[in-house]
Amino acid sequence: MSAYRVGLTGGLAAGKSTVGGWLAEVGFCVVDADRFVSEIYEPNAPGAKLVSELFGPSMLDDEGRVDRSRLAALVFKDSTARQQLERAIHPLIKNHFESVVRQSGATVVLEAGILVEAGFAPMFDLIITVEAEPEIRLKRAIERGLDPESAQDRIRSQTTTEARVAAADLVIWNNGSLEEMSRQVDSLVNRIREGGELGE
């Protein structure tokens, strides 16, 4: 049986992680790219070594862990630095996902905000993007604790809504309540299950 590959992406604060959590709850294997990056930013891990080599040891804390707030302050202001980081980190994410796929042999979902930008789209049988209007996303990001300038920087650093929608097979709109998004996810779960069955 070949694994059915699902890519889950979306703009900052659109609701991607909520959808990823729901898909995990119903039994799908969900690989969270952000969580994986956090793991490889630990002391002596590959990501920490790459960040230190690219931007200097000042990007690590006293224990050798990547200082994510310091790194974010750099890469979300400097597009060249962001591209350098992405070129180094994206292959690690891809290799990790492929490893999970080989071990699983079933439906595997990669949750990644950078899925389109990283050129990962051809890897998947189904691509979903979770979207919301920019002003709604900005408001949510600020409510999460980001200052307005940082939130704007992060939104600008991502590809456009139009680019994600163009790359996606299915768009989940999250401009309203969680209940409204949940109904869309119920249909998504059925579609993924049908796709997985076809892949068997």
pLDDT confidence band for 61 (50 / 70 / 90):
very high
- What proportion of the chain, given as a percentage, has pLDDT over 70? 98
What domain range includes position 133?
4-199
- Distance of alpha carbon 45 from alpha carbon 39, whole angstroms: 8
Q: Which residue has the tokens 């070594």?
A: 49
- By C-alpha distance, which of 118, 121, 99 is closest to 108? 99
* pLDDT for residue 2: 77
* pLDDT for residue 183: 95
Split into its structural domains, the chain has a count of 1
The answer on pLDDT for 34 being more than 60 is yes
* Overall average pLDDT of the 62-91 stretch: 96
- Whole-number average pLDDT of the chain: 94
* pLDDT for residue 171: 97
Query: What's the pTM value of the predicted model, to 2 decimals?
Result: 0.93
Question: Residues 98-108: pLDDT tens digits?
Answer: 999 999 878 99
pLDDT confidence band for 59 (50 / 70 / 90):
very high
- Give Cβ neighbours of residue 61 (< 8 Å, ≥ 6 apart): 67
CATH number of the domain at 50, please: 3.40.50.300
Q: Which residue has the tokens 């097979």?
A: 169
Which stretches does DSSP call E strand in 19-156?
29-32, 107-111, 126-131
